[in-house]
Amino acid sequence: MAALASTFFSSTPKASRSFAANSIPKFPLTKSLSQLNRTNFIAPIVASALRDKFVRSDSDSELESRSGLKKIVDSLFVLCASVALSASLFVADVDSAAAFVASPRKLQSDELATVRLFQENTPSVVYITNLASRQDAFTLDVLEVPQGSGSGFVWDTKGHIVTNFHVIRGASDLKVTLADQSTYDAKVVGFDQDKDVAVLSIDAPKDKLRPLPIGVSADLLVGQKVFAIGNPFGLDHTLTTGVISGLRREISSAATGRPIQDVIQTDAAINPGNSGGPLLDSSGSLIGINTAIYSPSGASSGVGFSIPVDTVSGIVDQLVKFGKVTRPILGIKFAPDQSVEQLGVSGVLVLDAPANGPAGKAGLQSTKRDAYGRLVLGDIITSVNGTKVSNGSDLYRILDQCKVGDNVIVEVLRGDKLEKIPVLLEPKPDES
């Protein structure tokens, strides 16, 4: 190529060389993309004009030189066209890439629904800090030390916050942080240890309180989508999704060990600190309180459990109105289920029936020792109101369906005989 260019400039008159040098367009590296686009259009035209100009300016006597010149101009024309095409492709790539980055993110309809559900219900979820008083061993100063944390949610515009009892257990001071990071002192309105539910109260403006819509848990189905929102460790809100993987499960209360029936089982991850947070259905309605997770590995994965909202609603209503839950009792202490199984019978063995309790007043007999120190078994409860009782969980389940003041027929095995004894149910002594 260099040899051809040398031949061209040696055979071309000085005036022609000057014209050629001034007519070939230059392409500075600093030109903008828009200038390159215009160059793409102009370059082929200029190259064509140059070719025609040189061909017309040659004389008939320079036919041989003209033939060589025509080849060189053709080469220049091809070179200009190639540069123009490359620049055009480069600009097209840049434009398409810019359009891809600048275009808004497109989400599927189910993704949009999940995003909308999270954004609408996040303001209702709060963060709860449990502070306990501790005395310094050296200075004897009383300090408030954080001993736990969890989540909760706004129940109404009066400032009532619902959470788990184990989140606030043993607290001397409670703090509630709303979604806008404003923090308020909280007072305990009441709690139900047996069902692991507690109600707090904060003095916050109504415009900051966003109650969750209350749903129904009686008609839930295995397989339907659920969403768990929490505020673990005071971090920003988190969302985990899953499905209902089981219904009518039973777990034990973390405080009293009393069974909680009809619990919702879900595969939605319940992270540490999510206890007390809401479990929502696809419409954003409350269907349960996230309470526990069974994880063999100890990680935040496994089977999650939520207290159904139908159970929670009745408890919260009583706590808000009376500050307590009036749940009926038989007034007995019974033996562990394993002890009764070793005896080869099915039922609940009465260890103690205080005389001032419902069972004692009705005449149920306690387990005791005779004058020779031999163990004399008390009554073994086999059914209540005709419903079979095989263990303590069965007895609790039946009592949960009763009310204070109800008369129930308790069937007991006394020695080798079955007897039916009417018992008037009463509330716990500290709830009267």
Catalytic option among 192, 196, 281, 379 = 196
Residues whose CB is less than 8 angstroms from the CB of residue 95 and which lie 6 or more positions away in sequence, other chains included = none
Angle at 162 between CA 278 and CA 126, to 5 degrees: 65
User: For residue 66, what are its two tokens?
Assistant: 């003209």
User: For residue 311, what are its two tokens?
Assistant: 């159970």
Determine the Cα–Cα distance for residues 285 and 212; give it in Å rounded to an integer.
Answer: 7
Catalytic option among 149, 166, 281, 394 = 166
Q: What DSSP letter does each residue of 51-95 carry, written as one string? A: HHHHHHHS-GGGHHHHHHHHHHHHHHHHHHHHHHHHHHHHHHHHH
Determine the Cα–Cα distance for residues 220 and 84; give it in Å rounded to an integer.
Answer: 66
Determine the Cα–Cα distance for residues 382 and 99; give it in Å rounded to an integer.
Answer: 75
Mark whether 196 is an active-site residue.
yes
Angle at 291 between CA 228 and CA 322, to 5 degrees: 110
Polymer length in residues for the chain: 432
User: For residue 258, what are its two tokens?
Assistant: 């009393």
Angle at 318 between CA 166 and CA 181, to 5 degrees: 50
Catalytic option among 124, 275, 306, 383 = 275
The helix, strand and coil proportions of the chain, stated in percent and rounded to the nearest 5, come to: 35, 30, 35
Catalytic residues: 166, 196, 275
